[in-house]
Structure 1
Amino acid sequence: MSLPEVVQVMSVMLGLAVAQQSAEHLAGARDRLLFLPRLILALVLVSGWQQAWVTWALFAYGVVLLHRFDGPYNGGSDKMTLLITACLSAYHLAPDTRWQEMAMAYLAVQLVLSYFVSGYIKIIKAEWRSGEALCDVFRFSAYPVSERLRGWAERPGVLWLMSWAVMGFEVLFPLSLLHPAALIGALVVAGTFHLANACLFGLNRFFWIWLCAYPSLIWFQDRVLG
């Protein structure tokens, strides 16, 4: 895909992801009025109308939310949302193609680091290397894990293998950039991992927003290897 095509796809995906995030607040009792304008902006972004202006508005709104909640209240998914919005805003502000490419390349590198750093932080911790950390995730998690799934905490051998599978995949993720087929395979595995976390632990925002950044990495690899 060309860079403008990548940006178009990412913009639509970002709009859908932000709309989903905002709709969750509208379904609740708090901050409905705060997130209604964000939902409207997200839907306009999906439509493709005045894409640059709407992207800038979403970025500005993201900064307002940082101030309102004294930081990214939903952790990593909010950080990734703001990162993608910032890079797309920079793309639209860039004076020429070179700087537009720099904006997308920055996002692609940050996506790779999001996996590598996550794996590195896990692998240097003894509780992750022993599998105990993953046991605790199932045993004590506050997320909506069913009682049947909590039973996995009593299978330390399986969770030890799962721990090392996750850590190994994350720290080796940068190697997927060496070949297009390897990257596609790695992104399928990563997307499946996020989907599993969404189904098991309710981390649905991570699934949608991380997928939004994948086109930038596919473009980046093609640009570097090409």
Structure 2
Amino acid sequence: MLHDISFTAHQGEVVAIVGPTGAGKTTIMNLLTDLYPLTSGSITLDDHDVTQITFASLRRLVTVVQQESFLFTATIRENIRMGRPDATDAEVETAAKAANADGFINQLPDGYDTMLSENASRLSQGQRQLLSIARAFAAQAPVLVLDEATASIDSNTETDVQHAMNRLMQQRTSFVIAHRLSTIRNASKILVIDQGKLIESGTHEQLLATGGFYAKLYNSPLADMDKMKR
């Protein structure tokens, strides 16, 4: 449960949300995408209450990349196109290139027409994540909610995934549910959540200077380990 949390994100900002397990990070993500019903308060997008926006319209405005990528029983091309059903083949391939996925796709015998089983177990976790990022590129939504994917990515593709995510966040308003503090040092704003409350807010440098909860988390030898997971 969240208690009296209030914040504003301006166009193009990267807002990172951090905190220990059970703090409320994922609850905030689900509220931002209208997956959880609001019992009080409001969330507005360009002064429009998200609860008054149709689900289809909200999907065009907000795209989500989750830590565990979900792919469908369909071709790679069709999976990417699910971000925006009217995307052309050229736009699908442009999205894949932006997501650093084009290289491994073209190494497959059937390329973009490769049929995937549900969750694409034949691909590595990193490759599946790159396809999810490509889907987000195809969506062309102005708002991104990113449940930090690199927390469970294989080392072989982690660099490609991180670069793709950084590219995806450009010129978008992004909310990053952070599991590893080292990845969000350049965020426009960091919200520190604990026990459902917003206890600190500021840039990385500001929060370190105060020596509070965030500084203790950041300086902890466990900061990049399981205690920062959901």
Q: Which has the higher strand share?
A: 2
> Does the TM-score normalized on the shorter chain lie above 0.5?
no
Q: Which has the higher helix share?
A: 1
- TM-score w.r.t. the length of structure 1 is 0.30
- TM-score w.r.t. the length of structure 2 is 0.30
Query: Larger C-alpha radius of gyration, 1 or 2?
Result: 1
- The answer to which structure, 1 or 2, has the higher relative contact order (CA under 8 A, 6+ apart) is 2
